[in-house]
């Protein structure tokens, strides 16, 4: 360990980007390590265990290395986090029956009459389904109607979604989760699309981007949630800019301007004006451009160069150049390289945030 | 200031880390035990508070606190209930826990949400919240949680927009590159304007001061983008036409046409909905036609479009003599025509034109000769020839129903801005300054004179965009698009400038398909097209040898029968979607494009089939394809060409145009006579 530390300190200095390449092997090793054991920086993220697993498993899939995971064990673990209603009647009690983010938010059901707190969460549910889709689990075995029926209770009168029935902030992130869950389950009964659409439209700011809630300043992540949700719900089409953008429900030219201006001089993407480039926005903003059919306008060469400065010596990507990697930024680094059509990477379904290639895993 | 890390990155030595982990684990298991068994004692709540203060991300712990909080309130003794101070004590304790959590991680969604939840219960001090906010917003001026919370508190406690505006001024004076502050400023000013607060309505009152404020910022550091964004918003506020208007039509007011069946196109300045029998009347002589169906010229499923179309057939009956019919199209209830922002049209308009019907008139048989848009088939237009009549009437009368929209203050404000930014550019090499100046100049031309389009500054604007293409290659394509649009605006601005691009077909080539004249916008390296409102009369259009990836907007040109798009950058059949609406189209050249060169990523449709994506043709296409595996791949081409009567088509030079595809086209287009120069039998 001590040796590794020394090496870490040395290796971040003086690394030019010219001779660098996307180091797939190291990235696989990095994810594999995190698949085996989560390191201490993730202690506080225990509640988001499913999300971390999503980064690892879907990440390995993008890297075409899904054979490194034990498919059956992954499926069993994910399914063990699902909240099940005791009976049909419970589906109307206002609770959400999705997936728990981790073991600690899940209480073992005991039949002593005490109500068991159900903490299943929209984001965890999205990640659970994304993992199951990634490992090619048979979705007909999932009780999708419980998820959809109970998800309906989470939608607010303004169209936004609360992530958990016990109450939390409501914003575009959870509208996106609801849309992607419905899409993966191929069951749209859990969402009032018209209301959700109106909420999303109310979040578009005058500068063209979207804020997480109406009136908030535009943000790369929120913009992705908005555009991907509209696409998933069928309110916008692919390749909008080569079609009739002027009569589209959102202001596409303005959105395009905003997105393109998020590519900073160093080639990376920033999440908001005047912030510094950050690996993950290559996906959030780059993904929006791809959905719009406008990814040809971004400068792929400089983006690539920027991302490579965030590539860690030991695999994975960091938020900013020459820092330590983390799972979140690693995953969005991989997705960004997939969008840049790096060889040896699976292609992405941008709206769903996962790879689309499916093959039988032995 | 930027990129504040969520956690400090100082390395902790392993022992301490293990100790910390053990402590958190122990706290967590005690807490979960309490949560499960609904224990809300003081000790239990303290354990929870400790856990939260070391890990604010632990959502379950926040949920427990809400339950505990409600438990505390409902289990007060009778004496306590009377005591407002006691409630305040409970609330204060909650706020203290949140504050500590925020100090640990001020980007914690859960912590900010809990604070909102507690504050909504009432009994809290506004002052304290603002103090806390000022502290956090000083530490991280861009923290959007804090800005959101600020807007929440301002709304809850009825803090006036003016007061909040002052706060943004202070923040901007502190550091003018704070885009969050500029943003909140625009939100607040929009509120003030909407509510017509004194001093902020009408908008010219505050715009002048705002221009000054932002000028100070951009002149101090022209490379900082925050101020420029705000400037763009101000410019938009200045020139925004507040309601939808009719800007042109086919047939134009005062014109005379000879076809008995013809399209009517209404072209608005922005997409509108609500054009129908109630809002628009069509009157032929004294009869108001009741069987008129308007439809938007737009490919989407929403009942909204910038151009609206209907077809009219003049019932000229049994009379043997020639006759002239007066047709009048009038807004009956213009408030029913509504922009996509929900603003109604309040302008009334009326278009009158004549249709002269000659009973002997027989449409000649449609030509079978191949039509080529090459230089040798054209001659310059004879100004005195009668082919000019319609063209003339379009330009002489088109502006009759344009309302003057200029306001003196607008022109003055923009003129003054132009002076300022010219000055800035005299000492600073600044690309966004150039872009802003280009936008200001175009804005100036747009509001300067209402009747004829003003092109005073076009040359200067084109020069600015050319310079920008050199200066800032990253955004080359954007500048190029803007350049193309401005260039076309200039071309379409007057009869004289358009004449330079019009060619007359030589007698040997001309037919009723081509019309007498062709608008030749070829080899201009255009990457975008626009100004369609002034091109509604075009029958033949040559856009070959440009760099167009898209033909969006072309659907408004309902007379279009010959279109040359060869040697462009059209990347897919879906990019030709506007052609679906051009029912008069007979001759089409899409050769030497990039159709098929970029694979359409059908894998995107993880949960649906490619066919569910098309709009109207699914069923029919299934019948047409009848399970033919090869034809199924052409569904996009089917959806574009399926409803057209194309007689001459060139597709050579596209990756997609192989023999199989040609066979498919022959099957799909029964009227086809020429395909890639060969006669179809």
∠ CA B238-B242-B243, rounded to 5°: 155
Q: Pick A320's closest partner by Cβ from B3, B110, B180.
A: B3
A326 in reach of chain B (CB within 8 A): no
Interface of A with B in 127-156 (CB under 8 A): 133
Count the residues in chain B.
681
- Say how far apart CA A99 and CA A54 lie, in whole Å: 13
Element (H, E) at A200: helix A193-202
User: Considering only CB atoms, which chain A residues are within 8 Å of B575?
Assistant: 239, 242-243
Backbone φ, ψ for residue B307 (5° rounding): -115, 140
Report whether B182 contacts B229 (CB < 8 A): yes
User: Considering only CB atoms, which chain A residues are within 8 Å of B24?
Assistant: 43
Cβ <8 Å between B575 and A239: yes
Q: Is A316 left (phi over 0), alpha (psi -120 to 50) or beta?
A: left
Report whether B173 contacts B190 (CB < 8 A): no
Least Cα separation, residue A20 to chain B (angstroms): 22
Percent of chain A at pLDDT > 70 equals: 89
| Residue ranges in chain B modelled with pLDDT below 70 | 1-13, 77-82, 123, 299-302, 317-321, 358-368, 385-406, 448-453, 508-510, 598-622, 625-633
- Average the pLDDT over each of A142-151, A267-276, B75-84 and give the range with the smallest value: B75-84
pLDDT top residue among A247 and A46:
A46
Query: A209-224 b/e with 16+ CB inside 10 Å = b?
Result: bbbbbbbbbbbbbbbb
Q: B59-74 and B42-54 are packed helices; what angle lies between their axes, rounded to 10 degrees?
A: 150
∠ CA A46-A160-B125, rounded to 5°: 75
User: Considering only CB atoms, which chain B residues are within 8 Å of A291?
Assistant: none
Q: How high is the pLDDT of residue B536?
A: 92
What are B529-551's pLDDT values in tens digits?
999 998 999 999 999 999 999 89
Q: How high is the pLDDT of residue B366?
A: 55
The pLDDT-based confidence of A361 (bands split at 50, 70, 90) is: very low
- Say how far apart CA B632 and CA A221 lie, in whole Å: 37
Q: How high is the pLDDT of residue A189?
A: 95
A275 in reach of chain B (CB within 8 A): yes
Interface of A with B in 59-88 (CB under 8 A): none
What are A183-224's pLDDT values in tens digits?
999 999 999 999 999 999 999 998 899 999 998 999 999 999
pTM: 0.75
Strands B350-357 and B323-331: antiparallel
Q: How high is the pLDDT of residue B197?
A: 86
Least Cα separation, residue B573 to chain A (angstroms): 10
Interface of B with A in 175-214 (CB under 8 A): 177-180, 183-184, 186-187
Q: Pick A44's closest partner by Cβ from B14, B55, B549.
A: B55
ipTM score? 0.71
What are B184-207's pLDDT values in tens digits?
999 999 889 888 888 887 788 889
Report whether A159 contacts A175 (CB < 8 A): yes
Q: Pick B225's closest partner by Cβ from A237, A273, A319.
A: A273
DSSP assignment of B118-182: HHTTS---HHHHHHHHHHHHHH-TT-HHHHHHHHHHHHHTT--HHHHHHHHHHHHHH-TT-HHHH
Least Cα separation, residue A212 to chain B (angstroms): 10
User: Considering only CB atoms, which chain A residues are within 8 Å of B549?
Assistant: 242
């Amino acid at each position: 360990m001590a040796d590794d530390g020394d090496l870490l300190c040395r290796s971040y200095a003086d690394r030019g980007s010219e001779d660098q390449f996307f180091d797939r092997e190291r990235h696989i090793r990095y994810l594999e390590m995190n698949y085996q054991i989560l390191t201490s920086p993730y202690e506080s993220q225990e509640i988001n265990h499913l999300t971390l697993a999503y980064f690892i498993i879907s990440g390995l899939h993008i890297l075409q290395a899904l054979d490194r995971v034990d498919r059956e064990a992954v499926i069993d673990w994910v399914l063990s986090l699902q909240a099940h209603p005791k009976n049909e009647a419970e589906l109307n009690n206002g609770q959400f029956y999705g997936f728990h983010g981790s073991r600690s938010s899940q209480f073992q059901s005991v039949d002593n009459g005490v109500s068991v707190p159900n903490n299943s969460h929209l984001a965890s549910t999205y990640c659970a389904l994304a993992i199951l889709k990634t490992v090619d689990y048979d979705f007909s075995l999932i009780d999708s109607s419980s998820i959809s029926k109970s998800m309906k209770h989470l939608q607010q009168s303004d169209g936004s979604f609360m992530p958990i029935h016990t109450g939390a902030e409501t914003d575009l992130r959870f509208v996106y989760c609801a849309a992607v869950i419905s899409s993966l389950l191929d069951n749209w009964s859990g969402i009032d699309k018209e209301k959700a659409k109106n909420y999303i439209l109310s979040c578009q700011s005058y500068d063209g981007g979207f804020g997480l809630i109406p009136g908030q300043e535009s943000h790369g992540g929120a913009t992705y949630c908005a555009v991907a949700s509209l696409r998933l719900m069928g309110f916008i089409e692919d390749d909008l800019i080569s079609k009739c953008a002027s009569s589209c429900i959102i202001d596409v030219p303005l959105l395009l301007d905003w997105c393109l201006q998020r590519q900073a001089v160093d080639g990376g993407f920033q999440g908001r004006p005047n912030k510094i480039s950050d690996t993950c926005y290559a996906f959030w903003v780059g993904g929006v451009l791809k959905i719009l059919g406008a990814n040809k306008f971004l400068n792929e060469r400089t983006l690539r160069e920027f991302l490579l400065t965030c590539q860690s010596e030991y695999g994975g990507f960091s938020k900013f150049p020459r820092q330590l990697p983390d799972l979140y930024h690693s995953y969005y680094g991989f997705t960004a390289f997939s969008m840049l059509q790096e060889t040896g990477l699976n292609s992405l379904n941008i709206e769903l945030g996962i790879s689309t290639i499916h093959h039988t895993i032995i | 200031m930027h990129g504040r890390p969520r956690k400090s990155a100082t390395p902790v030595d392993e022992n301490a880390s293990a100790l910390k982990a053990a402590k958190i684990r122990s706290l967590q298991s005690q807490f979960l035990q309490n949560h499960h068994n609904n224990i809300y004692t003081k000790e239990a709540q303290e354990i929870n508070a400790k856990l939260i203060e070391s890990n604010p991300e632990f959502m379950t712990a926040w949920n427990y606190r809400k339950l505990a909080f409600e438990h505390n309130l409902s289990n007060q003794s009778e004496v306590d209930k009377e005591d407002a101070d006691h409630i305040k004590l409970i609330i204060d304790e909650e706020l203290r826990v949140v504050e500590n959590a925020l100090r640990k991680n001020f980007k914690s969604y859960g912590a900010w949400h809990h604070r909102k939840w507690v504050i909504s219960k009432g009994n809290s001090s506004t002052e304290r919240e603002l103090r806390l906010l000022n502290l956090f917003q000083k530490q991280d001026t861009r923290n959007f949680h804090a800005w959101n919370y600020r807007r929440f508190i301002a709304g809850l406690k009825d803090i006036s927009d003016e007061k909040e505006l002052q706060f943004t001024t202070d923040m901007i004076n502190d550091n003018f590159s704070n885009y969050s502050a500029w943003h909140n400023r625009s939100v607040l000013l929009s509120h003030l304007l909407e509510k017509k607060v004194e001093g902020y309505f009408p908008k010219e009152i505050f715009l002048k001061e705002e221009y000054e404020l932002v000028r100070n910022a951009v002149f101090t550091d022209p490379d900082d983008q925050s101020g420029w964004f705000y400037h763009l918003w101000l410019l938009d506020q200045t020139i925004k036409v507040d309601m939808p208007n009719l800007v042109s039509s086919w047939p134009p007011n005062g014109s005379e046409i000879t076809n008995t069946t013809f399209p009517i196109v209404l072209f608005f300045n922005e997409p509108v909905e609500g054009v129908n029998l109630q809002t628009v009347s069509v009157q032929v002589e004294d009869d108001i036609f009741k069987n008129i169906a308007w439809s938007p010229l737009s490919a989407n499923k929403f009942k909204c479009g910038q151009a609206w179309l209907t077809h009219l057939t003049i019932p000229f009956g049994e009379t043997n003599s020639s006759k002239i019919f007066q047709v009048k199209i009038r807004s009956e209830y213009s408030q029913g025509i509504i922009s996509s922002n929900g603003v109604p049209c309040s302008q009334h308009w009326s278009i009158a034109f004549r249709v002269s019907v000659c009973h002997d008139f027989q449409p000649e048989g449609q030509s079978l000769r191949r039509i080529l848009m090459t230089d040798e088939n054209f001659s310059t237009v004879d100004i005195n020839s009668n082919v000019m009549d319609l063209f003339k009437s379009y330009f002489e009368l088109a502006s009759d129903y344009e309302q003057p929209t200029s306001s003196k203050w607008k022109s003055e404000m923009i003129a003054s801005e132009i002076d300022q930014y010219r000055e800035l550019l005299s000492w600073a090499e600044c690309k966004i300054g150039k872009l802003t100046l280009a936008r200001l100049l175009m804005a100036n031309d747009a509001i300067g004179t209402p009747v004829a389009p003003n092109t005073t500054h076009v040359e200067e604007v084109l020069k600015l965009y050319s310079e920008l293409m050199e200066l800032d290659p990253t955004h080359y394509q954007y500048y190029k698009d803007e350049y193309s649009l401005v260039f076309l605006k200039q071309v379409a601005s007057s009869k004289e400038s358009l004449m330079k691009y019009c060619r007359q077909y030589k007698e040997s080539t001309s037919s009723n398909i081509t019309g007498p004249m062709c608008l030749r916008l070829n080899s201009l390296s255009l990457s975008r097209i626009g100004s369609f409102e002034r091109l509604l009369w075009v029958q033949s259009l040559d856009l070959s040898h440009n760099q167009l990836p898209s033909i969006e907007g072309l659907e408004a040109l309902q007379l279009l029968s010959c279109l040359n798009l060869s040697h462009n950058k059209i990347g897919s059949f879906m990019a030709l979607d506007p052609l679906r609406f051009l029912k008069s189209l007979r001759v089409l050249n899409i050769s030497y494009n990039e159709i098929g060169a970029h694979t359409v990523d059908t894998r995107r449709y993880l949960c649906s089939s490619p066919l569910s994506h098309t709009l109207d043709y699914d069923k029919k296409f299934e019948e047409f394809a009848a399970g033919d595996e090869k034809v199924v791949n052409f569904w996009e081409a089917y959806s574009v060409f399926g409803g057209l009567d194309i007689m001459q088509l060139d597709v050579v030079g596209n990756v997609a145009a192989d023999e199989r595809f040609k066979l498919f086209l022959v099957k799909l287009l029964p009227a086809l006579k020429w395909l890639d120069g060969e006669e179809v039998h």
